[in-house]
Amino acid sequence: MTLRLFRYLAKEVLVSTAGVTLILLLVILSGRFSFYLGQIADGNMTFKFLFIILGYHIPSFVQMILPLAFFLSLLLAFGRLYIENEMSVLFSSGISKIKLAGYTLGIALIVSVISATLNLWLAPFSEHRAAEASLAQDQLSAFVFLKPGRFEGNGQRTTYIDSFTPKEGWMNQVFLSDVIRNKNTSIPVQTFAAYAEQIRVSEQAGKNYLVFKNGTRYEGKPGTANYRVTQFDTYAVRMANQEKELTNESYIQPTLYLIKSSDLLDKAELQWRISLVIIIPILAIIGLSLSQVNPRQGRFFKMLPAILLMISYIAMLIWGRTGLEKGNLPISLGLWWIHGVFILIAAALFIQFNQVFERHKARPPIDTGSDENSL
């Protein structure tokens, strides 16, 4: 009976949690997808990197969504059980509210294990891979983003390519307009070539060259004395070195590294990761207490105060994390005091839910005597 009941409650809550998580994740992904499409349209990202970077960010999205989804699912699932009088049947069968709280914490433990896996391992690992993908994206040459038959650039810095050869990757019928500085003077330069290609001379030094073939180079302003026209068979231009180093932000560091680190930002990040796990059982007790409604009230009667309480909890954690990172809060105090406050709130709500303290004492029946009803 006990195991069967736990499975039933766990199925109700966990299935709802998975559904709410999926819906919220799709909402977030759609927004990010639109943002990255704008980056592609502006020529700052290739379509290949869109799905790579977006996929690596999914665990980080889920780690924030999961506590919210679990809390909402608990309210919805238990609220339905109250509305349909299933909870009344359970209580009349000898299931106490304290025992129901034990089942709820057991379900919260399952979600906490999933959250701990995400927060302490998968999300940092994925963010590290996303940072590597972004670095590889930033190191791509600007010519990778060019579209054939379209002028790219602004003002005097413009590039045009007629087409690409499918196999060799050469750029055919190339026009490049640029401005060079010579003795504090801006000199316009235009280069026409039959085709061009990028060549990496040194892997270690990162020397990239753009090599033009069979073209003409115009340098200077037409009509001036220093105007030059140069025809060439081969002309190479060294491209700017875009080599960058991988970011050293705390959110991409492994949890073991954060534990050993003495840096303030690393300690704040570690407490944040642990907080996203601790918050789940605390929200479970709050959700259990606020899910109790009668059929006349409806399952959404206590949804608004419950959601406001959850938002306050998360907002305080975010505020506390910001305070730790800026040094406004002592790292020894950390985020633990916020959890302590909401543990007290959860305990107060559960005491009221369990009716440990009676507000009114029942009065004994009044003995009117047996003569009153006698003839």
Residues 153 and 131 in one domain: no
CA–CA distances in Å: residue 129 to residues 58, 59, 125? 12, 12, 6
Residue 371 lies in a domain: no
Residues 6 and 124 in one domain: yes
Residues 106 and 24 in one domain: yes
Residues 12 and 131 in one domain: yes
Residues 166 and 294 in one domain: no
Residues 252 and 332 in one domain: yes
Amino acid residing at 312: S
Residue 368 lies in a domain: no
Residues 210 and 273 in one domain: no
The answer to whether 220 and 228 are in contact (CB under 8 A) is yes
Residues 131 and 266 in one domain: yes
Give the whole-angstrom CA distance, residue 142 versus residue 273. Answer: 38
Which range marks the domain in which residue 176 is found? 143-238
Residue 363 lies in a domain: no
Tokens of 22: 């999926």
Residues 150 and 185 in one domain: yes
Residues 20 and 100 in one domain: yes
Residue 191 lies in a domain: yes
Residues 196 and 309 in one domain: no
The total number of structural domains in the chain stands at: 2
Q: From the CB of residue 11, how many other CB atoms can be counted at a distance below 10 Å?
A: 12
Residue 364 lies in a domain: no
Residues 261 and 348 in one domain: yes
Q: DSSP letter at 223?
A: T
Radius of gyration of the chain (CA): 33
pLDDT tens across the length of the chain (375 residues): 678 889 999 999 999 999 999 999 999 999 888 887 777 666 566 677 778 888 899 999 999 999 999 999 999 999 888 888 888 888 888 888 899 999 999 999 999 999 999 999 999 999 988 888 777 666 554 555 556 666 666 666 677 777 777 666 677 788 777 777 776 777 788 888 887 777 665 544 456 677 888 888 888 876 676 778 888 888 777 765 555 566 678 888 999 999 999 999 999 999 999 999 999 999 999 999 988 877 666 566 678 888 999 999 999 999 999 999 998 999 889 999 999 999 999 999 999 887 644 444 444 555 555 444 443
The answer to whether 101 and 107 are in contact (CB under 8 A) is no
Residue 128 lies in a domain: yes
